[in-house]
Amino acid sequence: MSRTGALFLLLPCLILAEDLGATRRISNRLTPHTIQSADSQSAQQSPSAATPESDSLSLKGDEVEQSLWRNARTYLDLPTSELVTQIKELHGLVPEDNPNQLSLLLDRIGKSCVDLLQHTPNLASREKQKTTEWIFAPLDPTKLQPELAHPKYEEQEFEYLLLAHQTERGKTLQEYRTDKHGQPIQDPASRGGQMTQGFVTEWLQMLPANQSQARFRYLGRQELLHRNVFVIAFAQIPGKVRTPATFVLDGKPVHLLFQGILWVDETDSRIVRMIESLLAPRNDVGLSNLTTKISFDAVFIPNAEIRLWLPKEVTIHWHYRAHEVEQRHDYSNYHLYAVNSKIVLQ
């Protein structure tokens, strides 16, 4: 797969307590970042300052995109039985129709996210990334379906950094990758050009100030990994999302909106699992599917004597033109990270 056709998925990696703050991007290029200690001026810049002007997009300007989102049939519109059939992770759901439960749950989830944000220190972990890519052969008119080539596999390992900064606008979390020597990786893409990043902070979508950017629906209860959980569906609202995901191919930006399912622990309102899919396929640009699945777990941080709710496994699956790609990330060995020096990506 050529670099021109490569996909890069960057979920929000600079997030303020009162706003998601950074544009999520799928792109065939990367913007260099500068990382400095928390007391530096660079660390206190607004998220928009770190995003190229060409990527500072508004969902209000493109009638084609607006039509796609406006006509989307979301998880909030489907009957529960159809949702359970469509999303295998919902098998075992006990449906409940309780509108009053939703507002109470959203309030509790928002407070748990605020608490987690306030207690998150500078962290490092080991990240294993496995990429599998299939390429469809040209369609043979004598066959009903296109043929898949043999899959290509690639495995990579990174040191993953999550750095917390206190700014005038609130607390920020920034994500980076380094090699085993601690040197920053400017382009952590696979040989096929696939790169995804930004999942450890994905739960910040549920901060109270960010919840107004989506609609929600309470689905019911379920047992998940020996936990009793509440299940909630959500869908981003066109025109309300301040920093939408962006797909960039050959310099052309395309907006993306998402819908998804949340599994929330009944006891402490922590997110146990999160699934996100496109609000509507972008067949106009060849992106027919993009699904992210994130599994969270309680992680004890040595020397900090705290237990944080962090991602353990992330799987991203997408179809782009003749390519089907699955990328899995496994995070382990979370520990405190000391910021002692300035890291600059040239």
Tell me the pLDDT tens digit for each residue of 302-346: 888 899 999 999 999 989 888 899 999 999 999 999 865 455 544
List the structure tokens of 249: 């191919």
Specify if 278 maps to a domain. yes
The predicted pLDDT at position 245 comes to 77
Which range has highest mean pLDDT (58-62, 76-80, 155-159)?
Answer: 76-80
The predicted pLDDT at position 70 comes to 80
Given a contact cutoff of 8 angstroms between Cβ atoms, the answer to whether 156 and 129 are in contact is: yes
Out of 131-140, 160-169, 242-251, which region has the weakest mean confidence (pLDDT)? 242-251
**Cα distance between residue 194 and residue 190, in whole Å:** 5
Q: Give the rounded percent of residues in the chain with a pLDDT score beyond 70.
A: 71
Specify if 3 maps to a domain. no
Specify if 2 maps to a domain. no
**Domain ranges, residue 216:** 8-344
Specify if 309 maps to a domain. yes
The predicted pLDDT at position 224 comes to 95
Burial class from Cβ neighbours inside 10 Å (0-12, 13-18, 19+) for residue 310 reads buried
Mean pLDDT of the chain: 77
The predicted pLDDT at position 47 comes to 32
Q: Report the DSSP beta bridge partners of residue 161.
A: 124, 176
> Average pLDDT, stretch 255-265?
94
Helix intervals (H) in the chain: 63-70, 80-86, 99-119
Pairing outcome for strands 94-95 and 14-16: unpaired
The predicted pLDDT at position 232 comes to 98
Q: Mapping DSSP to helix (H, G, I), strand (E, B) and coil, where does residue 139 land?
A: coil
Binning pLDDT at 50, 70 and 90, where does residue 98 land? Answer: confident
The side-by-side arrangement of strands in the sheet containing 214-224 is 14-16, 170-178, 152-167, 123-135, 323-336, 306-320, 287-301, 271-278, 258-265, 227-236, 214-224, 94-95
Specify if 1 maps to a domain. no
Given a contact cutoff of 8 angstroms between Cβ atoms, the answer to whether 311 and 198 are in contact is: no
Out of 138-147, 221-230, 237-246, which region has the weakest mean confidence (pLDDT)? 138-147
> Average pLDDT, stretch 148-155?
84
**Domain tally for the chain?**
1
Specify if 264 maps to a domain. yes
Specify if 88 maps to a domain. yes
Out of 97-101, 159-163, 200-204, 304-308, which region has the weakest mean confidence (pLDDT)? 200-204
The predicted pLDDT at position 99 comes to 81
The predicted pLDDT at position 35 comes to 23
| First-residue to last-residue Cα distance in the chain | 26
Answer with the residue of higher pLDDT: 170 or 41: 170
Binning pLDDT at 50, 70 and 90, where does residue 17 land? Answer: very low
> Does 33 score more than 60 pLDDT?
no
Burial class from Cβ neighbours inside 10 Å (0-12, 13-18, 19+) for residue 339 reads middle
Interval 163-200: pLDDT, tens: 988 888 788 888 888 877 777 776 555 555 555 666 67
**Cα distance between residue 325 and residue 316, in whole Å:** 8
Specify if 124 maps to a domain. yes
The predicted pLDDT at position 180 comes to 74
The predicted pLDDT at position 22 comes to 38
